[in-house]
Chain A
Amino acid sequence: MKKVSLYGIFFCVLIFSACQKELTGNVNTARQYTVRITFQPAVNSQALAIGETYQNDLGEDYTVTAFRFYAAYPSLKNNNAALNVTNEKKYRLVDAGISSSVSFTITTADSVFNGLSFQVGVDSIDNVSGAQSGDLDPGKGMFWTWNSGYVMAKLEGTSSFSSMPANEFTYHVGGFSGVNNSIRIIALSTQQVKLNTGHTTDIIVQADINKWFSGVHALKISDNAFVHSPGALAKQYADNYATMFSIAEIVSE
């Protein structure tokens, strides 16, 4: 009987090792550090509550019903030199209504950084290359079907200052080419952070919705209750929300 169980173990080892190889791929023996970037939708440093009434800096009340944006290419910098990082995926559709959608995990072989950057929006090439999947699946409601292209960021809600039916406002910001380009690169400085192996370092990035109305341009809800196409107004909203990000916290556990 002893013999039999030895065979059993032998086969099990064979089977597992055969499968494992395909799952893990090539193993990198260099030191790897893990950083998790988590976007936290917020209003004035307080976490966003869907349905809560807020006031923007132009004195207008508003509530938020939907808030989404595409984040891409998160990267770390040390004294403006980019660290060599590996992203788990190219795009993340950050959705205030889906808690599992707000984090990006990246790995790097470098251990020190003092800056973070990322892109808000979908690369031009991915707007013109046909049917996409995953976070770029047009079923996610971030693709204009009548004027091909992605909505880079979306903010929807209600305000007593909106002249639209049901007091709604809908800002769908997109445009990927030429004068209509609404892709924005965000760069944020951080304190100097030393990474440790075996620990994930968390960077909490707040996204302050108030900045949509007044980050750079003063855009009153009473003047514009919606933007639904690429163009000058969409670009102004993109300029505004490009200023909404700030580092709230960096935690090494």
Chain B
Amino acid sequence: MKRSILYILSLLFAGLFAVESCKKQDGGSGAPTPLTFTVPDGFPAPVYTFENNTPTEQGFQLGKKLFYDGRLSKDGNFPCASCHQQFAAFATLDHPLSHGFDNQFTTRNAPGLFNIAWMKTLHWDGGINHIEVQPLAPLEATNEMAETIDNVIAKLKADATYRQMFKAAFGEGEIDSQRMLKALAQFVAMIVSNDSKYDRVKKGQATFTIAEESGYKIFQAKCASCHTEPLFTDDSFRNTGLALDDVLKDYGRMRITGDPADSLKFKVPSLRNVFATFPYGHDGRFYSVGAVIDHYRSSVINSATTDPLVKNKIPISDYEKLDLLSFLETLTDSTLINNTRFAANE
């Protein structure tokens, strides 16, 4: 009789286990911690709304680990962060073009990564239509990270820490490119720049100097139609009258649309953190903000697609230039640049 009681008990346990294993399929335990994405006061509604990718602390941390992990590149040397350095507002400091696999250069200047959630398209030519698929471009480009999606997924699957982190962020199921990309989007979209001196002045927490105030007025009169506040870009594509580089032969937006009307047009970059991200221009040809202003003052090249707003050059006096530079310096967001939340763990 004792044996039969044991038998019944063990069956009972087996039954409980089976029911438990059924339950697990619809959720499981240890739900990830939700994160909120806050739209700063005065900012428009973001383009990326984390649709089908609810941000969580676990997803963000996984995205950050991926962002700083060289294993996403072929030889291990080129994580996302190799071209997107936090101290440069996630651009590449002091490099017109960034370095990639096998001593190669990229073909364009790495843009800063902040306020990406407000971008309708990504890249200088707008070729990328969604933040989640952007990492595939550098990952597969043979002169950048030079990897394949399948290789990267295999490396992640082979790593116990990643297996645990993917599970914590997304629950049961295989590691795949979709989950990797969603995690990266959670990290990158959370990088928001809204705490520069300019922002604090707007909130009434700081005041411009006389030069900054004067520069702001000049900015609003002569620059703001393209570099629209508060993002300091209108996210459009324009030909600003730069000469075609004979080596790069980069026609910008036309490469994507095939439309001659888009020849030599490039995305208007944000001027936030402009003093942290030199050099400037789609190919990094300008080594100082002053040099960019000089271009608009004196060396705009007119062609069929040159933007009407710069066609006749922009008259800016030497005095105005100095004040303008003072104002643009107020766009540096030290809070973002020093925020350890976005820095590599270690």
Chain B residues near A231: list those with CB within 8 A. Answer: 258
Chain A residues near B176: list those with CB within 8 A. Answer: 133, 137, 139
Chain B residues near A149: list those with CB within 8 A. Answer: 129
Identify the stretch in A124-132, A193-201, A245-253 within 8 Å (CB) of chain B at 4 or more residues.
A124-132
Smallest Cβ-Cβ distance to B18: which chain A residue: A15
B12 contacts which of A11, A127, A128 (Cβ < 8 Å)? A11
Q: CB distance A18 to B22 under 8 Å?
A: yes
CB of A209, distance to nearest CB on chain B (Å): 26
Q: How far is the CA of A22 from the CA of B11 in the complex (A)?
A: 22
CB of B68, distance to nearest CB on chain A (Å): 20
Is A145 interfacial (CB-CB < 8 Å)? yes
What class of interface size applies to chain B in its complex with A? 35 or more
Is B227 interfacial (CB-CB < 8 Å)? no
The 0/1 profile, CB within 8 Å of A marked 1, for residues 25-39 of chain B is: 110000000000000
Given A128-B130, A130-B185, A143-B133, are A11 and B178 also a contact pair (CB < 8 Å)?
no
Q: CB distance B177 to A137 under 8 Å?
A: yes
The secondary structure that dominates the B interface is helix
Which residues of chain B from 291 to 336 have any CB-CB distance to chain A below 8 Å in the complex?
Answer: none
Q: How far is the CA of A3 from the CA of B256 in the complex (A)?
A: 76
Q: How far is the CA of A130 from the CA of B141 in the complex (A)?
A: 19
Q: CB distance A4 to B178 under 8 Å?
A: no
Is B150 interfacial (CB-CB < 8 Å)? yes
Smallest Cβ-Cβ distance to A176: which chain B residue: B129
What class of interface size applies to chain A in its complex with B? 20 to 34
Q: CB distance A145 to B132 under 8 Å?
A: no
Is A157 interfacial (CB-CB < 8 Å)? no
B256 contacts which of A18, A127, A143, A147 (Cβ < 8 Å)? A147
Is A30 interfacial (CB-CB < 8 Å)? no
Is B171 interfacial (CB-CB < 8 Å)? no
Q: CB distance B137 to A11 under 8 Å?
A: no
A148 contacts which of B133, B150, B177 (Cβ < 8 Å)? B133
Smallest Cβ-Cβ distance to A127: which chain B residue: B129
Given A7-B11, A137-B176, A138-B136, are A147 and B127 also a contact pair (CB < 8 Å)?
yes
Query: Which of B's residues lie within 8 Å of A, judged by CB?
Result: 4, 7-8, 11-12, 14-15, 18-19, 22, 25-26, 51-53, 123, 127-133, 136-137, 139-141, 148-150, 153, 176-178, 181-182, 185, 255-256, 258
Q: A127-B129, A139-B149, A147-B255 known; 5 other A-B pairs, CB under 8 Å?
A: A4-B8, A18-B22, A19-B22, A133-B177, A145-B136
